[in-house]
Amino acid sequence: MQVLLKNKKVLVTGGAGFIGSHIVDELVERDCETTVIDHVLSKNQVRNLEQSKQSITLIKGSVTNKKVVRDNVDVDVIFHEAACNLISSVESPINALMVNTKGTLNLLESMKEKSRETVLIYGSTGSVYGESLYSPQDENHPCNPTNPYAISKFAAERYVNFFAKQYGLKTVCLRYYNVIGRRQNYSDNGGLVSNFIRSVLKGKPPMIEGDGTQRRCLTSVEDVVKANVLAYEVEKGYGSAFNIAGDEVITINELATLICSFSEKPLKPLHTKSRTGNAYDFEPSISLARKVLGYSPKNRLKDVLPDLMEWIRRELQINEDLGE
């Protein structure tokens, strides 16, 4: 059975962030009554909602605040994207636990109390699997998260599963792999791709942690938005977890070299020591999402990366003009 994501009442947590704001734009296009909860820390996050700000209700708050959550869960569907990223989670595991795990638990408890018919689409991560025991990793791969980000996200997944089974809540977990696209964080803690791009835009070689042979799947944010829509619309997927990724596998060395190829000057990547807990392969199987949800990634790296690079170039220029 399939429902349509149109004219629905929707809550997006972290809706001013990278992935969340793209979901918000899609919801507005679908004439959904959309509420966003976000702590909105930066001017860039505010700009993320420029396209849709006149058509949404924006609540400045955190998923760690149970009252804020409880007052806004009575909707058709919640897209839960509020989270601390990898680097901030390593810097503060306690904060990662509070936001990524307790924030999710606040949503689940509020849904149990007020809105058991609400569907929760939880944005998780492929890093819950930890070091790969086999490739490609499917959803049956053992989960052994090895850093505070992945640990907190996996703990949240377990709570999602518990509430689904114990209380009959309708939930879907989407395990994202290396999502890239416009509006992504391009600061120092923004992640692998944006760090490479910033270096190249400054005329500096990208720094690779470790030997660079680690394999990655990069996923365009547009494909992630489509996956979220499908996760709500395809009811036979409720109660399950799905890998969401692109279908191109690339080593970090190849990725850095590809980004260097877009530079105006010749550049070659350099190597540095690897961080603990992030040296393994991320190579997912998306067969289950294809079969159950009808998910099929459409965007190719050769198109996504130059577009992202140009967007970051413009953003850096805007910030420079503003004296930031």
- What pLDDT is stored for residue 45 in this prediction? 78
Confidence of residue 43 (pLDDT cuts 50, 70, 90): confident
Alpha carbons 294 and 226: distance in angstroms, whole number: 10
- State mean pLDDT over 19-29: 98
**Is-contact 114 54, C-beta < 8 A?**
no
Residue with tokens 């809550």: 11
> Which entry of 129, 149, 159, 176 is annotated as an active-site residue?
149
Using one digit for the tens of pLDDT, what is the confidence trace for 60-119?
999 999 999 999 999 999 999 999 988 889 999 999 999 999 999 999 999 999 999 999
Task: Please tell me the number of Cα atoms within 13 Å of 54 on its side-chain side.
Answer: 2
Residue 323: CB partners within 8 Å, gap ≥ 6? none
Kindly report the pTM of this predicted structure.
0.93
CA distance 200 to 263: 6
Residue 48, token pair as written in the block = 């993320």
- Confidence class for position 187, pLDDT limits 50, 70, 90: confident
Give backbone dihedrals phi and psi of 196, rounded to 5 degrees, phi first: -60, -45
Q: Identify the CA nearest to 175 among candidates 118, 119, 224.
A: 224
41 pLDDT more than 70: no
Q: Find residue 175's DSSP bridge partners.
A: 124, 243
Q: What is the pLDDT of residue 264?
A: 82
Task: Mark whether 122 is an active-site residue.
Answer: no
Is the confidence at residue 274, as pLDDT, over 80? no
Query: What is the overall mean pLDDT for the chain?
Result: 93
pLDDT score of 273: 83
Mean pLDDT of 40-59: 87
Residue 226's pLDDT is what? 98
Superfamily of the domain at 9-179+220-245+283-298: NAD(P)-binding Rossmann-like Domain (3.40.50.720)
Name the residue type at position 49: L
- Listed residue (62, 70, 79) closest to 20, CA to CA: 79
Cβ count within 10 A of residue 135 = 14
Residue-wise pLDDT tens digits, 120-152: 999 999 999 998 899 999 999 999 999 999 999
Q: How many angstroms separate the CA atoms of 44 and 47, rounded?
A: 5
User: By percentage, how much of the chain surpasses pLDDT 90?
Assistant: 81
Single-letter residue type at 247: D
Q: How far apart are the first and last CA of the chain?
A: 50
| 3-class secondary structure, 220 | strand
| pLDDT confidence of residue 323 | 55
Among the listed residues 297, 294, 218, 203, the one whose alpha carbon sits nearest the alpha carbon of residue 251: 218
Q: Is the pLDDT of residue 193 over 90?
A: yes
Specify the pLDDT at position 277.
Answer: 47
- Report the interhelical angle of 221-233 vs 18-29 (nearest 10°): 60
- The rounded distance, in Å, linking the Cα atoms of 232 and 255 is 33
pLDDT score, position 265: 84
Mean pLDDT of 8-12: 98
Task: Inform me whether the pLDDT recorded for 276 exceeds 70.
Answer: no
For residue 43, the Cα-to-chain-centroid distance in whole angstroms is: 20
Give the start-to-end residue ranges of the domains of the chain: 9-179+220-245+283-298
- What local confidence, expressed as pLDDT, does residue 80 receive? 98
- pLDDT, average across residues 266-289: 82
